[in-house]
Structure formats: structure tokens, C-alpha cells
Structure 1
Amino acid sequence: MSRQLNMDTLRQNFWKEEYLREKMVRCEWHRKHGSMAKAKQKAKAAAHLPLKLPTLHPTAPLSPPPAPKAVPSRATSPALEAPIQSEMYPVLPATRALLYEGISHDFQGRYRYLNTRKLDIPEMRYLFPITTNFTYGWQLGPPVKQEMVSCKTCRIESFFRKNGAFALLDPRDLAL
């Protein structure tokens, strides 16, 4: 918008009155409707707040069985007294020994250990399903091998055309 150069006193007074009238209309609207607008804003803001879930406190551990008092032993460290909480079953000593035999570069050591651990089913390695993906294959049992029916009429060798991409269609190329 171009700037008006013909601004005289009359036009200045007009714009001054317009500005004051708009200001009065805004104040009047705010006096009448301001409380309702604030209530709506608070309700809208409350709807966008994330839900806060209650925090779950850990359950008290079971009391350990009473130790025999006949043999006094030296004090054990607190790290040994605490029960080991793990998601996995302990590894067999023979499997653990694979870690220390050779290096992974020669397909020994960690490489053989991981491949041996991979052969165990998840139920033998983990106490419970850790992730949701575990639930799909948890406790399925041994895999069942299904025999394929050998039927030459059902089998399609390839989905490519035998005569090339731009050749005319051959009835043998279509699977009906």
C-alpha cells in the first residue's frame, strides 16, 4: 500500500477517532466476554496436557530365610547379599568357556559364543518375554516341517517372460 502524502489535520483527527473507537470496542468486548474466553482457553489447555500415570513403587523383597547360627562366618559384602535380578537364565559353563578360546577374527571366541547362544530357543535364554516382539514366537515349540506337494501344473518357474521384456505375450508366460 502506498503512503498517503495528503495527510492534513482533518484526516489525522479522523484516524485518531477511529483508533480510539476500536480501542473502546475492544475494552467493552473484553469486559463482557473476557471471563468466558479465559475459561475456554483454560479448558482447551487442560485437554492438551499429557496424562500423568501413577508411579509404581517397587514391591518389598521377600525376607531371606534365616541363616544357621551355628557357624559364624566373616561378614559378606553387600553386593554379594543382594539377589541378582536378571532377565536371562545363567549361561552354561561350557558355553561361557567359548568366550575365552581364540579371537572373533578367526571365528572363535565371542563369535562362536554368540552363534552357540543363538541356537537356543528364547524360552531357554530368557525368564520371560522382554519385548512385545518376543510374544510372537514365545512357547511355540519345535518347528513343524510341512511337505511340499510336487505338482508340475501348480509350479511356476519364474515370473519373468521367457521371450524378453518387449516381446509379445506367450500363452505359456501367463499363470492362469
Structure 2
Amino acid sequence: MLRQLNMDTLRQNFWKEEYLREKMVRCEWHRKHGSMVKAKQKAKAAARLPLKLPTLYPKAPRSPTPAPQAVPSKAPSPVPEAPFQSEMYPVLPTTRALLYEGISHDLQGRYHYLNTRKLDMPEMRYLFPITTNFTYGWQLGPPVKQELVSCKMCRIDSFFRKNGAFALLDPRDLAL
């Protein structure tokens, strides 16, 4: 697009005034409505933040009350019980030592540590199921091998055609 060459002083002053007027209108609008817009932006940003729910810990089983002692001893000072700091059991020192041996690039260090931790069952790592997905694998025990049936008539290897995709249809492949 070509520039207009018929810009004279009158037209330049018109555009200058128009630009300043728009600028003043923007400043006036910002002065009048700016605080309201900022408040809406803060409310939207606060609504986008995830809701932090408190962590629920399992109730510790109550120990049986000891028999009363005949000799009164010095009253111990009440020590408040500290809540659990983690959802996981502490890591064994031998497993934790794997973190500091080598680097992950050489399949040592963190890589070896994580693979070793992965071998433990979830109930050995966590105090209780943290998510609902944990309930599917919680306290299943070791995996049980299922023996295959030796009868070929009872077992179906695949739902694909036995003689290839582009071969002629075999009557055994059709389900009528």
C-alpha cells in the first residue's frame, strides 16, 4: 500500500489531535476502570490456583493401657506428638546410599535408586493408599504365574487372522 503524498500541515495537525484525543480517552478510561479490572484479574488468578487440601493421616491404633504402678514416679512433662511428616516409610540406608554412587547417565545413582525402589511393593513404601488408583494394586501380594492350558482347542492365541491379512478367508476365521 502506498503512502498518501497529499499530507499537508492541516492534515498532520488533524492526525496529531486525533492521536492525542485517543490517548486522553485511554488514560481517562484507565483512571476510571483500571482498579476494577485489576481486581477481576486477581480474582481470576486466585480461581486458577489449585485447592490445597489437608493431608489425612491414618489413625494410630490405641495401645492397651498399662496396669497402674504402685510406686508413683515423677510425672513426665507432656510431649505433644508430632504428626507424620511424610506419606512414605523411611528409605533403608543401603537403598539411600545408591543415590550417591555414580550418575544416572551410567545407569547408576538416581536411576539405580529408583529402579530399586520400584521393586518394593506399594504397601512397603507408603503408609496408606494416597490416591484412589493405589487401591487397585494395594495388598495384592506377589504375582502368581498362570499355567497355560496344553489343549490347543481351548486356547485362542490372537483375534487376528491365522493366515495373514491379505490371504483368502479361512472358514475357521469367521465368527458366524
Query: TM-score under structure 1 normalisation?
Result: 0.48
Radius of gyration: which is bigger? 1
Query: TM-score under structure 2 normalisation?
Result: 0.48
